Chain A
Amino acid sequence: MIRRLFHKPVAVVSLAWIAILIILSVLAPVIAPYGPQDQDLAHALEGPSRAHLLGSGVLGLDVLSRLLYGGRVTLVSTAISVSVYALLGVPAGLLAGYRGGLADKIILRLSEVAYAIPGTIMVLVVLAIRPGDETAAMIAVGALAAPALARVVRSATIALREELYIRAARLAGLRDWLILRRNVLPSVMGTVIVHVAIFATTAIILETGLGFLGVGTRQVTWGEMVAEASHNLGNQPWLLVPSGFVIISLVLAFGLIGDGLRDATAEGYSIRQTSRARGRGNKPARSAKPDRALPNKAAANIPPDPPPTGPETGALLALNGLTITFETNGKPVTVVENVSFTVAPGQMVGIVGESGSGKSVTVAALLGLLRGTGQVSAGTMTFAGQPFDLSQTKALAALRARRIALISQDPMSSLDPCFTIRYQLAEVIKANTPLRGTAVGERVLELLRAVRLPEPELTARSYPHQLSGGMAQRVAIALALAGEPDLILADEPTTALDVTVQAEIMDVLRSLGKAIILVTHDWGLLVDLCEKGIVMYSGQVVEEGSVERIVAQPRHPYTVGLLRSNPYFATAGQPLPAIPGVVLPPGRWPVGCHFAERCSLVRPVCSEARVALTVVRDRPGLTRCLFQDQVAAQAADQAAAMGAALGAALEIGVQGTGQAAGSQP
C-alpha cells in the first residue's frame, strides 16, 4: 500500500516537499544568509529585495533566515506530538482490540472523555502551568489525541482478530505479541499512517497557533512570524505571505499524503462508490454499441437463437436479446448475453442458476434498476403490447410499481429504517394510485391483511427494525402490491428467511394470482410455484421449458448437474455429487459453450463456435447444447430416482406447504 502511494504524483511531491523543509531547517545555520536575530535597521519592514530575498521584518530581521530557523521548532514539535500520538495510540489500540475485556472498556471510556476536551484549551492549561515549555505542550497534544487513534486501531484489530491466519498462528503456539507484530500490525499500518498524517496537520496548526499567541518557546517560530505580521498589517502586509506559505504548504503536504493513502487503501471501494452514485440514472453510454459488448471473437457468424417458447402473441412480457455489461477497470464486461423469454398473463416463471449466472441482473434490467456501472447494451421488451428499449431507463420508470413491481432479496435493507411501515406504504400508494386522505390509511391495512400479517395495525405502526425477517418480507410484498402491478419480479425473496417462513411467503405469492418471475437457486421453490422454468448459466439461458419437463427430462448437462447436486431430489443415504469446477467470472467466458470446462460430455466441437439455443427434440423447450441426445441418455440413468422425487415434490407443491426442509442448500 505504501508502494502504491509512490504511484501517486501528488503524494510523491508532498513527501518531497516535507523532506526539503526538513533538510532546509537542519541546514539553517549553514545556509541562512543572516542569524535569526540579526538586525538591519536601515531595511526594516521591506518587501523582497536583493539583500533580503523574502523581505525583512521589524528591526530589519531577515524573513528568509527566520523562516529557516523557525522551521526547526515547528518540525521538532510536530515530530514530538506525532510520536507520542502513535506510541501511545497504536499499542493501546492493539491491546484493546486483541485482548478485549477490561483494557478495551478503559480505552473506550478514555476516548470518549478525550473527544470532549478541546485540545487547544488543554494545551494552554499545560502552558499556564509550565510557561514556555513547548515540548510538554506538544506531548500533551499527542497524548490527548492518542485515545482516538487507539479507537481506530482497536476496530481494525477486532476485524482482523477472527481471521483465519491469525487463528492459525495462535494455534501454532506463537506468543501474542509476536502475532500482533507479525500479523496484525502490518495490516493496520495503512490506517495508522493515514491517521498520523491527518493528526500531523492538526499538530502543525496548533504549534503555529502557540507561536502566534506567543505562549510557546522563546525561539523564533513560524507562528511568531505571523504574529509579527499581524502587528504590521497596515505598513507591510507582505509579511503574511512567506510565513503563511510555509505553514499552509507543510500542512497541505501532510493532508495530501493522508488523502492519497486513504485512497490507496480503499481504491476499489471508492471507485465503486462514485460510479454507483453517478450511474443512478443508468444512462446508456452513447458509445456502447450492442455488438461491442458481446465477446468480440464470437461476434462473427452468430447462429440466431430460435424464438423462446410460449405464446408469441398475447404474452404479458416478451423480452428480446437482453445484453448487459458492467464496467471493470474501465472496460465493459458482458454479464448477461442475449437473453430472451416470454411471460404470459398470470404465469409463474422461475429463473434458476448459481450466483453469478446473471439471473438477478436480468430482472433488474426490466425496470432499469441496474446497480453501479451496469448498462443494457442491447435488448427490447414488449410489455402488454407496448414496446420498450431497455437501454432507455426513463421510459421504464413509468412501468415501476404500477405495471411491474420488484421484491428484493433482503427484505430488511429494502425498507427505509427511519420511517414507519404505515408511512412507507402510504407513500407508495400516493405515488402510484389516485387514492388520497383516509382511503390511503384503509388501503395500507388492506394490503397488510392481503399479505396475511396477523396484526396489521401493529405492523403499520412499527419501524423496520421492529419486524422479523418474515414480517419484513410480507411488508415488502405489500409494498410491491401497492401499485397494483400486473407482474411481480421476486428476486430470491426467501433466501434471507428460515424454512418455515419461506413456505409461508411462497403461499402468499401463490395466492396473489399475478404473473411472477421468481429468481432463485432453489429447485424446491421452482417446482412448488412455477409452471415455466428458465435455467441460466454464465449470462446465458441454457435451458427453457415447463418445470415438469426440465426436472424429469433435462436436456442440458448443466441442468442435469444442478438437479443431481440439489438436496431437494437427493436419495437418502447417498452423497450429493457437486458439479466439478467453478463458474467462470464474466470477462473470461470462452467463445464456445460456456459450460465446456465443467461438462462431462464435452467434445472439441463444443469450444469452436458460439452454441445456439436449439429446440428440444421430443418435447417443447429449448436447450443450448450440441449433444442433447447424449444428455438425454445420461439423464435417463437418474430418471427413475428423479421421477420419484419429482412426484413427491409435486405432491407437496399441491398441498401448498412446500415444506421441503432440504430445499435450502
Chain B
Amino acid sequence: MGRVIGRWFITAVPVVLVVSMLTFILASFVPGDPARAILGASAPPEQVEALRQQLGLDQPLPQRYWDWLVAALQGDLGRSIQTRGSVATELAGRVDVTISLIGFGLIIITLVGVTLGLVSAIKGGWLGRVVDVASLAGLAVPGFWLGLVLVAAFAVAIPIFPATGFVRLSDSPGGWAASMALPVITLALTGTAGLAKQTRSSVMDELGKDYVRMLRARGVSQRRIILLHVCRNAGAPIVTVIGLLFIGLVGGAVLLETVFVLPGLGSLTVAATRAHDIPVILGVTLILSIVVVTVNLAVEISYALLNPKVRA
C-alpha cells in the first residue's frame, strides 16, 4: 500500500505544479495591465505604478510564480481583483457547496449505475438496450439544459422544489436538501447511464473469462460467482471509470452552479472569468487540481484493495 501511495505522490505533485504553472504562464499574457484594471482608467500613473510594485508585477515571471507558490503553500492565494477580499477565504466559503454537489451526485451515479449495469449484464435483453439508449442520451443531453428542463417542470410548472437559490445546511437542513435536490438529480442523470454501460461491459468481459467457467465446473453457485467473483474482478476497471467520471462532473458542476445559482467554486470561476479576475482563477485551478489528484489517490487505493497484483 505504501508503494501505491508513493507512486501516486510522484504523479500528483507534478500534476498540481504543472497545472498551476500553466495557468500562471497563461495569465501573464493577459492583455492590458491588471493594476490599471483594478484602479480604473482615470487613476494617475504613479498610483498604478505603486500598485504594480505592490502586486509584484515588476518582477520577472519565474520570480512571481515562486512568490505565488510560496504564499500559496502558506494558505495565501492573494486578493481578488473584483472584491479586493482574500481569495483563500472566498474559496473556503464555497468549496463545500461544490464538493457536496459533486459528492452526492457521484454517490447516486455509483449506486444506481453499478446496480443497473450489473443487472443488465446478467439479465441482458431489454434492460441492456435501455442502458444503451440511456447512456447515449446521457452523452447527448447537456446538463445545463436538462437542469433548466427540470426547473421548468418541478419548480415552475409543479412547484415541488425551489427553482434557484441556496440554503446553508447550518441554517436549515430541510431547505438545504430542497435546494440541492434538483442540481444533484441533474448531475446524476447525466452520468448514471454511462457508468451503467461501462459496468455492463466490464461484467460481461468477466463473465466470458475462463475462471468463471471453471468456478461453475467446480460446483460454485451462480449467485456466488456473480456477486463475489465477478463483482470483485470487474470492480477495478469500474473504479477507474468512476475516477474519470469525477473529473467530468467538476466541469458539469461549473455549469449547474450557474443554472441553479449555487454559491460554489463553479459560479465563482464563471464570475471571475467574466471579470478577468486572475488571482481567483489561479486559486480555483489550484484547489480543483488538488481535489482531482486526491480523488485519483482514492481510486488507486481502491484499485489496489481490489486487485492483489497491484498491492504486491
Contact = CB atoms under 8 A, between A and B. Distances in A.
B145 A240 contact: yes
Interface stretch (A22-30, A114-122, A597-605, A646-654): A114-122
Contacts of A476: 214
Contacts of B163: 233
Contacts of B109: none
Interface stretch (A246-254, A382-390, A621-629): A246-254
> Which of B14, B124, B204, B208 has the most chain A CB atoms closer than 10 A to its own CB?
B208
B52 interface: no
Contacts of B11: 112
B292 interface: yes
B168 interface: no
Contacts of A408: 210, 213-214, 217
A400 B233 contact: no
B247 A418 contact: no
Given A277-B204, A369-B216, A418 B281 contact: no
Nearest to A213: B270
Contact of B232 (A212, A273, A415, A418): A418
B255 A126 contact: no
A402 interface: yes
A350 interface: no
A-B interface, 4 closest residue pairs, ranked by CB to CB distance from nearest: A120-B251, A401-B219, A118-B250, A252-B140
A372 B270 CA distance: 53
Contacts of B214: 406, 408, 414-415, 476, 479
A274 B258 CA distance: 42
A418 B230 CA distance: 10
10 contacts: A115-B244, A116-B289, A120-B252, A124-B281, A129-B30, A206-B251, A247-B145, A248-B145, A410-B210, A419-B232
Given A113-B14, A118-B251, A427-B220, 6 more contacts: A113-B18, A116-B15, A128-B277, A248-B142, A251-B140, A415-B214
A510 interface: no
A116 B213 contact: no
A43 B43 CA distance: 46
Given A113-B14, A401-B217, A431-B218, A120 B274 contact: no
B306 to A, nearest CB: 7
B250 A120 contact: yes
B124 A277 contact: yes
Contacts of A181: none
A410 B307 CA distance: 21
Interface in A71-116: 109, 112-113, 115-116
A33 interface: no
B193 to A, nearest CB: 12
Contact of A116 (B26, B207, B208, B292): B292
> Which of A127, A128, A400, A419 has the most chain B CB atoms closer than 10 A to its own CB?
A128
A277 B207 contact: yes
B133 to A, nearest CB: 11
Contacts of A427: 220, 224
Contact of A278 (B124, B217, B307): B124
B141 interface: yes
Nearest to A367: B217
B269 interface: yes
A396 to B, nearest CB: 10
A211 to B, nearest CB: 10
A286 B218 CA distance: 28
A528 B215 CA distance: 30
Nearest to A393: B216
Contacts of A247: 142, 145
A483 B218 contact: yes
Interface residues of B, number: 79
Contacts of A208: 142, 145
A233 B151 contact: yes
Contacts of A118: 247-248, 250-251, 288, 292
Nearest to B30: A129
Nearest to A254: B140
A466 B311 CA distance: 12
A428 B218 contact: yes
B84 interface: no
Contacts, number: 227
A309 to B, nearest CB: 28
B220 A428 contact: yes
A405 B26 contact: no
B210 A201 contact: no
Interface in B221-276: 221, 224, 229, 232-233, 244, 247-248, 250-252, 254-255, 258-259, 269-270, 272-274, 276
Contacts of B308: 417-418, 463, 465
Contacts of A414: 210-211, 214
A229 interface: yes
A119 B251 contact: yes
Contacts of A400: 216-219
B53 to A, nearest CB: 22
Contacts of B87: none
A371 interface: yes
Contacts of A124: 254, 269-270, 273, 281
B295 to A, nearest CB: 9
Interface in B272-312: 272-274, 276-278, 281, 284-285, 288-289, 292-293, 296, 306-309, 312
A402 B220 CA distance: 11
Interface string B1-34: 0000000000100110011000100110111000
Nearest to A409: B210
Contact of A274 (B124, B250, B273, B306): B124
Contact of B285 (A121, A276, A479): A121
A128 B255 contact: no
B220 A129 contact: no
Contact of A431 (B204, B220, B276): B220
A215 interface: yes
B219 A483 contact: yes
A116 B285 contact: no
A277 B206 CA distance: 9
A587 B255 CA distance: 58
A19 interface: no
